[in-house]
Structure 1
């Protein structure tokens, strides 16, 4: 069980041991300092209680009393509203919309390439090239503020940072051109909240 003295409310989160979307939710929980039961799931053999709770049997799945949530974006925004401090979205609608749109682009453009790389085979080399191109194209977004498109940590960072964390294990080298992205990652990786968000499998992907 992952706990923090700042919160006595215990949630349950069904999570894979190494998955970007699951890591995304765990990073939100860590940033909020929320106590929760972490239930690691073997994706090849999902437990019956997960299937009973979630008609898709998908991960991550969050349970808060009688409420079950299983869309990652919905989970993250729910947690940000349920536990408002610290806020992980800006106040103004324009900035919020920009961050939401950036998250959509990442889910549609970056994450499929990660899956192709992990699947291996000849398509993996092409996927590495495409993921590197996507990241370098986004360089202005990393340079625009201390965090991703925002002066403070936001829900967008909770998606971006897990991708950047996995780049060495994926065999993606951004080179000197990508230094602002790696510097961005280092600012997050050395925080206590980030360390709390990692499973043992994810810690093994690279040294803190």
Structure 2
């Protein structure tokens, strides 16, 4: 068996310019102040170097020395543990477990809806996905009156999951009721004006809210 070897000495993230999971990782890298090379690639024409290191030929892929991570949520937790300051996961086990469950539900429900809309925006499935997002985001909007961040008094990894999705609502054609928009306004301002979030945006992502 031939084992592929990473020849790069600097942490490298392979992603494209609009992928929501790559955005998550870039956001965490910026929050941590981690120096990394960002290689923007076409998902349909991946470089051989990446194909040699990632058995699934997928992006985003984070490479750190001899480690290759091709699942975004694993990459995010790895970065939080590898670079512990500032910490983005709760300290207490029960709170940490609840945070992981929250992010899991985002992936299973909201991110699934996101991909349904992106893959076939005019389909009946996309219409249902838009309604699910609108209803769910409206239902939880009131919690932002009580906490400055996502179910927390502190900025956490859950915000790094949630913010890229909120940023993309205009391109998903998802419009929240005015009452919900009012609840989200201060939160979105707080997150979207963070220097790390601004740094994480690609030119293509900036156009999503131009």
Is TM more than 0.5 here?
Answer: yes
CA RMSD of aligned residues (A): 1.5
Which runs of no fewer than 5 residues in structure 2 stay unpaired? 1-8
Q: Give 1:144 shift.
A: 4.3
Deviation at 1:138, TM superposition (A): 2.6
Mapped partners of 1:94, 1:144: distance in 2: 21
Specify the alignment match of 1:121 in structure 2. 122
Taking the aligned partners of 2:143 and 2:106, their CA distance within structure 1 comes to 12
Distance 1:187 1:82 in 2: 26
Deviations, residues 150-194 of structure 1 (Å, cap 9, x unaligned): 111111111100000011121111122322224312211011111
- Asked if the contact 1:102–1:156 (Cα under 8 Å) also holds between the matched residues in 2, the reply is yes
- CA 1:23–1:90 in 2, change beyond 3 Å: closer, same or farther? same
Residue 61 of structure 1 deviates from its aligned partner by: 0.7
Aligned to 1:33: 33
Larger Rg: 1 or 2? 2
SS of alignment partner, residue 204 of structure 1: helix
* 2:76 aligned partner: 76
Equivalent runs, 1:68-147 vs 2, <5 Å = 68-118=68-118, 119-123=120-124, 124-147=126-149
Q: TM-score, normalised by structure 2?
A: 0.89
Structure 1 counterpart of 2:201: 198
Aligned to 1:3: none
Q: SS at the partner of 2:37?
A: strand
**Which segments of structure 1 move beyond 4 Å, counting only runs of 4 or more?**
none
Unaligned runs of 5+ in 1: 1-8
Report the more deviating stretch, 37-46 or 115-124.
115-124
1:18-57 pair list within 5 angstroms: 18-57=18-57
2:188 aligns with 185
1:155 has 2:148 as partner? no
TM-score normalized with structure 1 length: 0.90
8 Å contact from structure 1 (residues 164, 182) kept in 2: no
